[in-house]
A and B are shown apart, each in its own frame.
Chain A
Amino acid sequence: GQNIDQPTEMTATEGAIVQINCTYQTSGFNGLFWYQQHAGEAPTFLSYNVLDGLEEKGRFSSFLSRSKGYSYLLLKELQMKDSASYLCAGTDSNYQLIWGAGTKLIIKP
């Protein structure tokens, strides 16, 4: 079967670091995306990983391990505006996206 798993909710403190994990099982795999979605808004693109390793983009970094079917999104120097849902999505052998249910990140002062 095809499945994307990520925690439902996480809480972190402003200024801290948080890691959001995602595990995937897809029939064929071509890459993994992370999107950010603020409440009541559309998802917006954060990152796309195809190869193993860490990709850094400002305060946000994304990691992929293809052999372990595992990815994480790392957010540093958390700001209140980072309160949002973070969606993990993997591509299957037909290049269609399989989405996780999203991780709601709550930032506390």
Chain B
Amino acid sequence: AQKVTQAQTEISVVEKEDVTLDCVYETRDTTYYLFWYKQPPSGELVFLIRRNSFDEQNEISGRYSWNFQKSTSSFNFTITASQVVDSAVYFCALNTGTASKLTFGTGTRLQVTL
């Protein structure tokens, strides 16, 4: 069975601070995909990144960066110089196999204040 754990329920930071959202996953499959989604208050899911299990390269996209470590089964997400518009719930998700079923973590609510 697959499982995704996001231990941080809520995080509150002041604008311009850096913040890291943790994600730990469990799967017995050797081939899998990890994702991060953003859900703003309006409710829609915004795709941020996909990483496959064979690619442990860290990735940077603007103020966003992701650290994938298979040794610790973690796929952490860092926002640099946070902004108020980053306030949202962030979900980490896992997909294995060809059925494309996604297993979501419980989400981390990020509040960025001025």
A is bound by B: no
Q: Hey, which bits of chain B sit against chain A, CB under 8 A?
A: none
A-side residues, CB < 8 A to B, are none
